[in-house]
Amino acid sequence: MTTDHAAERDLVLTRLIDAPREKVFRAWTDPEVLTRWFAPAPWTVPRAELDVRPGGASLVVMRSPEGEEFPNRGVYLEVVPNERLVVTDAYIEAWEPAQKPFMTLILTFEEEGGATRYTARARHWTPEDRAAHEAMGFHEGWGKCADQLAQVVATL
Amino acid sequence: MTTDHAAERDLVLTRLIDAPREKVFRAWTDPEVLTRWFAPAPWTVPRAELDVRPGGASLVVMRSPEGEEFPNRGVYLEVVPNERLVVTDAYIEAWEPAQKPFMTLILTFEEEGGATRYTARARHWTPEDRAAHEAMGFHEGWGKCADQLAQVVATL
C-alpha cells in the first residue's frame, strides 16, 4: 500500500507499553483480560468470545452507561502469536458477509528496548469511512483504551 | 448463514466432473492450467499469478476478443488442498482493501462416486450485487467456464 493510500484510509494509534509483548498480545486474545480494558470507561464489556485463528470469529459486546448493548463482530485473517493480529468486520463469521465492510484492524506488537511498541492500524475501505471513524472519536477512544490496556497489562 | 441469507446473496454453480478432485483442484491452483479454461471463449487469460495460501494474492488477467485486458485481483482466505478454496475480491493483497468488496468465492471439491462434485458459490455483500452479477451473465459465463474446466481436466 502506498503512503498516499495509507494516509487516505488508515487511522493509527501507537504506544510504547512497559511490558513484554506476550502480555500485550494476551490482553488482545484472552477474553477475560480483554473485557477489562476494551471499552472506554464508563462503557463496559460484559462479554467477549474470541476464536483466535485465521477464519475464527470474534464477538465483543460493548455496553453503554445507559445499559444498551452493542455487539461487535469480526473474523481473524492473520494470527502470529505475540507479534501480529489482523481482524476484519467485513465478515461476522467465516465466511458470512457483514452488512457493511468498514475496516480491517492490523495490530502489531514489537519488542522495543525491553518494552512493547503497540500499534493499532484501522484500515478502512473508503476515505469517507476513515473520516467518519475519526469524527466518531477514534483518537480519543482508542487513546483512552490504550491507557486502560497499559494499566491492565501491568497487573498480568 | 441461514437459507434466506444464502438465497439473497449467493449465486451457485455445481457440476459433476469425471475426474479425481486433485485434478479439478489443480485446475484452480496451477496458473498454467487455469489460463486454459478460466475465461469464457473467445475471451482469454494471458496471465495468472496465484499465491495459493491464506493471505496470498491472486491475479488473473482476462483479455476480451478486442484485446482489452481486465485484471481480477483477490486474496485467498482459506486453502484446504483438494477440498476447498475461499478467495475474496475485498482485498487486492494482504491486507489492502479493494475499491469495492463485491464477493467471496467459496469453491468445494467433493468426491462423489469416483467423480468430483465441483461447486462454486459466489457470495455477495448485498442482494443488489448478487442481482447485478446474475444480470451480467453469471450462469451462462460460469457454465461455459465449467465446460472448459471439464475439458481441460480431462487432459491432465
pLDDT tens track for B90-111? 999 999 999 999 999 999 999 9
Mean pLDDT of chain A: 96
Task: Give B123's contacts in chain A (Cβ within 8 Å).
Answer: 95-97
Please list the rounded mean pLDDT of every run of 10 residues in chain B (156 residues).
74 97 98 98 97 98 98 98 98 96 98 97 97 96 97 97
Half-sphere exposure of A60 (CA within 13 A, CB side): 24
For an interface test with A, give the residue of B3, B4, B76, B77 to mutate (most A CBs within 10 A). B77
pLDDT at position B6, please?
82
B54 contacts A101? CB cut-off 8 A: no
Reading phi first (left if > 0) and then psi (alpha if -120 to 50, else beta), residue A114 is in left
B95 contacts A77? CB cut-off 8 A: yes
Mean local confidence (pLDDT), A114-133: 97
Mean local confidence (pLDDT), A23-48: 97
Mean pLDDT of chain B: 96
pLDDT at position B4, please?
65
Looking at residue A57, its amino acid is A
pLDDT at position B1, please?
47
High-pLDDT (> 70) share of chain A, %:
97
Q: Rounded to a whole number, what is the distance in Å from the CA of A136 to chain B's nearest CA?
A: 21
A88 close to B (CB below 8 A): yes
Shortest CA distance from A89: residue in chain B: B90
Closest CA to A60 of A51, A47, A69: A47
Q: Rounded to a whole number, what is the distance in Å from the CA of A130 to chain B's nearest CA?
A: 12
pLDDT tens track for A50-107? 999 999 999 999 999 999 999 999 999 999 999 999 999 999 999 999 999 999 999 9
Report the distance separating Cα A116 and Cα A16, nearest Å.
6
Mean local confidence (pLDDT), A126-139: 96
B105 close to A (CB below 8 A): no
- Give CA angle at B56 (B50, B61), nearest 5°: 35
Closest Cβ–Cβ partner in B78, B91, B101 for A55: B78
Q: What is the pTM of this model?
A: 0.94
B86 contacts A77? CB cut-off 8 A: no
CB A41 within 8 A of CB A51: no
- Quote the ipTM score: 0.92
pLDDT at position A1, please?
47
pLDDT value at A4 more than 90: no
- Chain A, chain B: beta-carbon pairs less than 8 Å apart: 66
Report the distance separating Cα A27 and Cα A20, nearest Å.
11
